[in-house]
Structure 1
């Protein structure tokens, strides 16, 4: 039997570290989680953890980035000038709602908020590491506006309005009030209503 290559072993260790760290952060919180705990949980040495991630802040930001990337529009959901606006936007809103339906993501956001509330400096450092890729909804709105099909001079502002409507139902109540995740029927209702309200205001005549 052929032994795994060094690169594959490295990838496995990295994956084990990320999985163990996500579980530790969710269970113990940000401050109580140490690189020692992550190493023990992953079954690797502390040195191996630091070889992959130079600090706890970098490790946590990488986990959040992985989760956030699930909501970045995939190529098939990029703006298309040959398709009607509504089904495109509806799919994007559903994609966002699906990300926000991820309990791992919600739990880790709670951890992040608890970690950064006492320290604005930590918040800036942590979220600066998440990356500068523009969010999928903003990219789509920018493209549709450039094509003359959405009437906005500020795609980022329009995107923030849209995401605010979504998160008012499927993010902040769960984060701050401990409300249950939306059911499939509730997500469909939110997606339908938010899509129609957004296009009712921003769609070009």
Structure 2
């Protein structure tokens, strides 16, 4: 990699981090490319060279969030390990991610932007949905191994995540409730895993 490429990458990263801070603080509508460029200490022209519009910049932030989520939940299925132990670890990682302050703040921004522009939300969800999450890959591997029942894996994961988000995400995002303390997170994870496996275990 040349020095010019490294400089370009550093500027792009500075823009993304500045945008995250601005969107967290001001929301989607009140954030301007001028503010982001100023915080990143780059020109507007440089910003537009990387991101043609504010929508594109926000979509990149959501992609970064998704990548963070996927990297935290990249536990491969292990055929020789108990299902409940593996799934408990995955669910605890999910809870840790959705309880992160940065993730919660940006989720609020994304939800607000979606409400005001359903078309924008559809486009963003479509982009993010092009990749497969770690939990979905795990469920499919367990199904292939014959340890989970054959069913719509994506629906099964959606049901599992809904159980978690119903207590550890939506109350915090929509009603400003505090994050669950560690003991409650563990209890939620254990009960979610038990309920999921009571229906899906082969």
Shorter-chain TM-score bucket reads over 0.9
The residue aligned with 2:201 is 203
User: How big is the shift at 1:5?
Assistant: 1.5
Q: Cα deviation per residue 1:146-189 (whole Å; 9 max; x = unaligned)?
A: 11100132111111110010001111101111111111111111
Which piece of structure 1 moves more, 114-123 or 142-151? 114-123
Could you tell me the TM-score, scaled by structure 1's length? Answer: 0.92
Within 5 A, what are the aligned runs for 1:115-134?
A: 115-134=113-132
The residue aligned with 2:176 is 178
Q: Cα deviation per residue 1:13-65 (whole Å; 9 max; x = unaligned)?
A: 11111111001111111011111111011100011111111211111111122
Q: 1:95 aligns with which of 93, 96, 103?
A: 93
Local SS of the residue matching 1:187 = helix
Partner Cα separation in structure 2 for residue 97 and residue 129 of structure 1:
23
Check the 8 A contact 1:13/1:44 in 2, yes or no.
yes
Check the 8 A contact 2:73/2:94 in 1, yes or no.
no
Matched, 1:141 2:139: yes
Q: Which runs of 4+ in 1 moved over 6 A?
A: none
Partner Cα separation in structure 1 for residue 125 and residue 74 of structure 2:
28
User: How big is the shift at 1:118?
Assistant: 2.6
Could you tell me the TM-score, scaled by structure 2's length? Answer: 0.93
Within 5 A, what are the aligned runs for 1:1-205?
A: 5-72=3-70, 77-204=75-202
- Closer, same or farther: CA 130–192 of 1 in aligned 2, 3 Å: same
Aligned residues: 201
**Which 5+ residue runs of structure 1 have no aligned equivalent?**
none
Partner Cα separation in structure 1 for residue 7 and residue 95 of structure 2:
35
Check the 8 A contact 1:58/1:126 in 2, yes or no.
no
User: How big is the shift at 1:74?
Assistant: 6.0
Partner Cα separation in structure 2 for residue 188 and residue 172 of structure 1:
18
Check the 8 A contact 2:143/2:150 in 1, yes or no.
yes
Partner Cα separation in structure 2 for residue 18 and residue 203 of structure 1:
42
